[in-house]
């Protein structure tokens, strides 16, 4: 399970009999809360008592007619999504988010994913949106999108919603690589549920979901009339084709296996395929050259997942000399920081093409983290990372609404931005031979 989804999931409710004394105390507390509600604004009370917005459950909706459409998870179960309806001015505005979760590049890896929500809807549960960054419903924490219709599309195909093939697992059952069909069928169903009438639509994704969003950004835009405002937002999906410290192109090799196993070629840009290998066209540095829809790119230049799995995978440092540094950038020595600066410099160079795209935006901070839009702490809080004194939410909101021009910010090198220090080191739930990105 991805860490982001784990954060969104609600704990199982426990139903226990309470002793009479506990029940009496509970009743008394309820009376006090009721009185407080009369004299204290609800939003202030919620933040004062709980420290965060309430956690409303958002149910899982399984795709209708999934098997007939061939749009199924790796194990053949129907894919799912979570839809929370908007209100007020947001009633006709839509945010559609594609979940991340890495990739599976071999039959065994994909077969193993069938035992989790990343390969089967049997393991998917209700999730919470409140308090979770761009999905949140508190106006103070998510000022531009709090009351929009929001959709969180679950990821269960292992190829960034882009494959279309089948394979036989070792136990003789069929593995379904149907990510492209899932994307198309889910968007079609959402259009019938109101997305087609949107006056504004924002297409987003985190990590492997951000790569998915890039691959489908122009297709998503083409589904709406020209007068509808449609934009795309990629969070921590700018993966770099960089050699690891042993000289191997580990991520390139992974992508190459994914593309051939799951038949991903169909979604790759035709102008890129005319001159380059399909694997190269799967990288964002090439994808963004072809995308015409306005896009905002959010990415840490010291992306913790890429440092741990692209630049310094375990296989590249068998002497364990990088373990402490990969856990927390503050533990890196000056020589290691210089190596990390090489990854940062490659990312900045690959993003130069964005400078010529007037309606695009960027927020490239120097933090050691991964996926910042789905966390209230990093999205918009007193301790959020800032560039030009703006939080991520403010920068994205200003770009999306057109409140400011030139929304392209690239941070200086590591340790130059003190606002990054307030972020806790990210928990790494990945292993490079079985990638599970946040």
For residue 225, pLDDT beyond 90 = yes
Q: How confident is the model at residue 131 (pLDDT cuts 50, 70, 90)?
A: confident
For residue 378, pLDDT beyond 90 = yes
For residue 112, pLDDT beyond 60 = yes
pLDDT of residue 424: 65
Of residues 383 and 431, more confidently modeled: 383
For residue 242, pLDDT beyond 60 = yes
Mean pLDDT across the stretch 203-219? 98
Express each pLDDT in 146-195 by its tens digit.
999 999 999 999 999 999 999 999 999 999 999 999 999 999 999 999 99
pLDDT of residue 9: 60
Q: How confident is the model at residue 10 (pLDDT cuts 50, 70, 90)?
A: very low
pLDDT of residue 427: 62
In the DSSP assignment, the letter for residue 263 is T
Catalytic residues: 207, 303, 370
CA gap 190, 186 in Å, rounded: 6
What is the enclosing helix (H) or strand (E) of 208?
A: helix 208-222
Find, among 428, 370, 59, the residue nearest to 206 by Cα: 370
String of DSSP letters for 316-340:
G-TT-TTHHHHH-GGG--HHHHHHH
pLDDT of residue 6: 57
pLDDT of residue 405: 72
pLDDT of residue 25: 38
In the DSSP assignment, the letter for residue 348 is H
Residue found under tokens 């006709």: 92
For residue 267, pLDDT beyond 50 = yes
For residue 34, pLDDT beyond 50 = no
CA gap 367, 385 in Å, rounded: 8
Mean pLDDT across the stretch 349-375? 95
**Both tokens assigned to 123:** 């393991």
**Which of 104-113, 196-205, 326-335, 423-432 has the weakest average pLDDT?**
423-432
pLDDT of residue 12: 39
Count CB neighbours of 261 within 10 A.
22
Q: Where are the beta strands (DSSP E) in 158-312?
A: 165-168, 174-177, 200-206, 229-235, 295-300
For residue 414, pLDDT beyond 70 = yes
Mean pLDDT across the stretch 122-138? 93
Q: What is the mean pLDDT of the chain?
A: 87
For residue 11, pLDDT beyond 80 = no
Residue 344 and residue 302 in contact, taking contact as beta carbons nearer than 8 Å: yes
Express each pLDDT in 308-348 by its tens digit.
999 999 999 888 899 999 999 999 999 999 999 999 999 99
Of residues 340 and 37, more confidently modeled: 340
Q: How far is CA 250 from the centre of its chain?
A: 22
Residues of the chain above pLDDT 90, percent: 79
Full set of structural domains in the chain with CATH: 3-19+56-422 (3.40.50.1820)
The pTM assigned to this predicted structure is: 0.86
User: What are the φ/ψ torsions at residue 360 (nearest 5 degrees)?
Assistant: -100, 165
CA gap 80, 285 in Å, rounded: 30
User: What are the φ/ψ torsions at residue 16 (nearest 5 degrees)?
Assistant: -130, 150
What would you report as the CA-atom Rg of the chain, rounded to the nearest whole angstrom? 22
């Amino acid at each position: 399970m991805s860490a982001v989804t784990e954060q969104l999931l609600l704990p199982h409710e426990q139903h226990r009999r309470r002793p009479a004394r506990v029940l009496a105390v509970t009743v008394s507390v309820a009376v006090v809360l009721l009185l407080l509600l009369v004299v204290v604004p609800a939003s202030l009370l919620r933040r004062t008592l709980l420290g965060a917005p309430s956690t409303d459950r958002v149910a899982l909706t399984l795709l209708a007619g999934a098997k007939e459409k061939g749009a199924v998870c790796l194990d053949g179960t129907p894919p799912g999504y979570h839809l929370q309806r908007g209100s007020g001015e947001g009633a006709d505005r839509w945010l559609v988010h594609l979940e991340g979760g890495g990739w599976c590049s071999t039959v065994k890896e994909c077969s193993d994913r069938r035992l989790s929500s990343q390969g089967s809807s049997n393991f998917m549960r209700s999730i919470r949106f409140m308090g979770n960054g761009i999905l949140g419903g508190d106006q103070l924490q998510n000022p531009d999108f709090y009351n929009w219709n929001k959709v969180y599309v679950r990821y269960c195909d292992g190829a960034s919603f882009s494959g279309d093939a089948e394979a036989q697992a070792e136990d003789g059952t069929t593995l379904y690589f149907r990510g492209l069909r899932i994307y198309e069928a889910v968007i079609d169903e959402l259009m019938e549920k109101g997305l087609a009438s949107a006056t504004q639509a924002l297409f987003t994704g985190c990590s492997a979901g951000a790569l998915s969003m890039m691959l489908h950004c122009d297709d998503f835009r083409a589904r709406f009339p020209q007068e509808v405002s449609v934009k795309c937002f990629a969070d921590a999906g700018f993966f770099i084709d960089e050699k690891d410290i042993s000289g191997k192109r580990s991520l390139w090799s992974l992508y190459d296996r994914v593309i051939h196993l799951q038949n991903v070629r169909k979604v790759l840009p035709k102008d890129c395929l005319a001159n380059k290998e399909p694997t190269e066209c799967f990288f964002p540095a090439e994808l963004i050259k072809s995308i015409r829809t306005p896009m905002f790119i959010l990415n840490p230049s010291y992306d913790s997942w890429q440092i741990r799995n692209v630049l310094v995978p375990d296989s590249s440092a068998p002497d364990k000399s990088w373990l402490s540094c990969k856990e927390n950038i503050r533990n890196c020595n000056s020589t290691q920081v210089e190596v990390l600066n090489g990854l940062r410099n490659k990312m900045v160079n690959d993003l130069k093409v964005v400078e010529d795209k007037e309606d695009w935006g960027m927020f490239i901070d120097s933090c050691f983290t991964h996926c910042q839009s789905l966390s209230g702490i990093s999205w918009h809080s007193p301790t959020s990372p800032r560039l030009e004194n703006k939080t991520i939410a403010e920068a994205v909101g200003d770009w999306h609404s057109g409140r400011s021009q030139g929304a392209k910010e690239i941070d200086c090198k590591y340790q130059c931005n003190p606002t990054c220090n307030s972020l806790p080191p990210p928990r790494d739930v990945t292993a490079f031979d079985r990638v599970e990105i946040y």
